[in-house]
Structure 1
Amino acid sequence: MSISAGRPRASSREILAEAACELFLEQGYAGTSIADIAARAGVSRSSFFNYFASKSDILWSGLDERIETLCARLAGERSADAAADVRGALLALGDGFAPDSLALALVNAQAMGLVDELEREASVRRSRIAAAVSTRLRDAGAPVVAADVAGAAHGGAVLAAIDAWALEGAGLAPLAASLRAGVDAAALTLPAPVRQLRLVVRADDFDAALSFYRDELGLTEQESFQGDGGARVTILGAGRATLELSNAAQVELIDRVETDGNAPSDALRVAFEVSDTAATVEHLAAAGAAVEASARVTPWRSLNARLRGPAGLQLTLFQELGPEH
């Protein structure tokens, strides 16, 4: 009986993919032949090759088509901003990406006997993306090593995003959200005119400030120096740095959302993304921070709180909650 009996009519390609995934679950990837798949789908073995080049192509063809588009786009880009070209091309890869055989295989890799196969095939796709990104950056004048590192990071970011999206429940949220997180992380490797944002803060009680931001908030100490006359400086790492510019209307909006109206924003407010806003607020309050506004969910699905920390810094802690399901 055809696999599609009693179901809405589907294309032969979809029927073959569905048949393959059923068989992979029943008898494992290695134990399933192309002839088995064709028989389950109710088509001839030769018809299989009208749609797929190989058994693994069933899982990877959808992504491969998008990688081909990405490679062609990067090869044709000649704007002055190669980093923006890379980011745009990679984010476009996730547009309209729907759950398919690959997502099902990633979730059921152990049951299908696909763990090693998926890793081998994923490495091929990582390498293709890495080469396309590296070539675009080299063409723009980036040093070879820097371009190759950025390429490897972005290739890894795409495959990691797809894996996370599948395991978290492909279809519950668009791939674009996971992909953006991966591309944001990989962006640290891209060449840019400005290499680092460093916020320089005068701390009259240096030891108290250092203890709070390093030991309590958890920033990592990167460098520390001492100079004449008791001069001291410590550089703390705080993850990815961005500069958020807001006009007066935006600041007023944020104050209404983030506070009860009794803690207006300073001209400079420092925001830290954390994994658990409520727990971090409790911990930092115990360490001496003054809570200016308790944690609350914003309209854009983050959990925000506002505090006053050492050295007079006004702090926002925010936790990205993701879309509601």
Structure 2
Amino acid sequence: MSSTGRVGRPKASSREILAEAACELFLEQGFEATSIVDITQRAGVSRSSFFNYFASKSDILWAGLDERLALFESRLAGDDTADAVAAVRGEMRSIGADFAPDSLALGIVNAAAMGLVAEFEREASLRRSRIARAAAERLARGGADRLRAEVAGAAWAGAVLAAIEAWAHDGAGRTSLSRFLERASDAAAEVSAAPTGAVRQLRVVVQASAFEQTLAFYRDVVGMPQAEAYEAEGGARVAILAAGRATLEIANPSQVEFIDRVETDGDAPSDRIRIALEVDDAAGAVARLSAAGAEVEASARETPWRSVNARLRGPADVQLTLFQELGPA
């Protein structure tokens, strides 16, 4: 009878061997006293092999989580669903999917013995910042004002790291990280990103005779995803498009005149009601919308308040200001 190989535990990868060797050395002589050469010698691999898997000693502990955080960031950046909080919560829970105990869990539990307490706090703060930034950006795109989005983002970030620590101390492997993340997300969700007040939503209603054309323009060209749609007897139709955060800007006549001088060449005065849409690239949006039939009333230009503004006339005779925030000088 021929043998096709031994049945048993699969051979560990070089990455796993390096992580195991590093954790042994951290326990024996401390994190700071352990060099990358020490780790590669203990693992029996070349120094260059180390850098095929890790960028630094700290990366040995954090690499597995960092891969999941990169997915968390990219998925939230590409998410355009109507419920931003649900999107953040869902992606947070996905961080723990099939997350097996690794060197991070071992490092958390043995932080004092490994001399990792200060190192862990420093590296954990960097991950909190990444999570908070990604969550805050998604919440802001979903309609939260910047302050509330930042506060809520910090809460979600704290919840992720707290869940990982609790999971590790509970005995990583005894239960799934997803269960801890679920509990932590319940706590984070209590930090509302929605502004307070009696009005829960601002909705602008536009009457459009050319319904399909108007819907296609604002949904597909401008980029406002359809959140709801209804039909009724007699051919009645309505579509509700999502547009991020809603605000009501009230300006006196002098302010409107000032805006018109800055935003236009003086030949496109503001309608009594004008719709302003924040975009990432004002000049690019102008080109895209004008190619789809919008009339450009004023080309994109930088304003004194650090934005790039343009004015167009869209379908259904809606006057549009497109603005791109440039941030601090």
**Smaller-chain TM-score range?**
0.5 to 0.7
Q: Within 5 A, what are the aligned runs for 1:118-137?
A: 118-137=120-139
Please list the CA deviations of residues 134-179 of structure 1 after superposition, one character each: whole Å capped at 9, or x if unmatched. 0001112211110000000000000000000000100000001111
Cα distance between partner residues in 2 of 1:47 and 1:58: 13
Cα distance between partner residues in 2 of 1:110 and 1:8: 32
Q: Corresponding residue for 1:186? A: 188
Please list the CA deviations of residues 252-288 of structure 1 after superposition, one character each: whole Å capped at 9, or x if unmatched. xxxxxxxxxxxxxxxxxxxxxxxxxxxxxxxxxxxxx
Identity across aligned pairs (percent)?
66
Q: Corresponding residue for 1:115? A: 117
Q: Would the alpha carbon gap of residues 8 and 80 (structure 1) be closer, same or farther in structure 2, given more than 3 Å must change? A: closer
Q: Corresponding residue for 2:55? A: 53
TM-superposed CA distance for 1:191, in Å, is 3.1
Q: Within 5 A, what are the aligned runs for 1:172-211?
A: 172-191=174-193
Please list the CA deviations of residues 26-50 of structure 1 after superposition, one character each: whole Å capped at 9, or x if unmatched. 0000010000000000011111101
Contact 2:97 2:178 in 1 (8 A): yes
- Residue 54 of structure 2 aligns to a residue in which SS? coil
Q: Which amino acid aligns with 2:170?
A: E
- Structure 1 segments unaligned to the other structure (5+ residues): 1-5, 196-325
Contact 2:96 2:177 in 1 (8 A): yes
Cα distance between partner residues in 2 of 1:7 and 1:94: 24
Largest Rg, 1 or 2? 2
Q: Within 5 A, what are the aligned runs for 1:1-325?
A: 9-191=11-193
Q: Corresponding residue for 2:299? A: none
TM-score by length of 1: 0.57
Contact 1:150 1:189 in 2 (8 A): yes
- Residue 177 of structure 1 aligns to a residue in which SS? helix
Q: Which amino acid aligns with 1:122?
A: A
CA RMSD in angstroms comes to 1.7
Contact 2:143 2:194 in 1 (8 A): no
Cα distance between partner residues in 2 of 1:7 and 1:27: 29
Cα distance between partner residues in 2 of 1:128 and 1:149: 14
Contact 1:28 1:111 in 2 (8 A): yes
TM-superposed CA distance for 1:190, in Å, is 3.0
- Residue 189 of structure 1 aligns to a residue in which SS? coil
Cα distance between partner residues in 2 of 1:191 and 1:156: 15
Cα distance between partner residues in 2 of 1:142 and 1:9: 49
- Structure 2 segments unaligned to the other structure (5+ residues): 1-7, 198-329
Aligned residues: 190
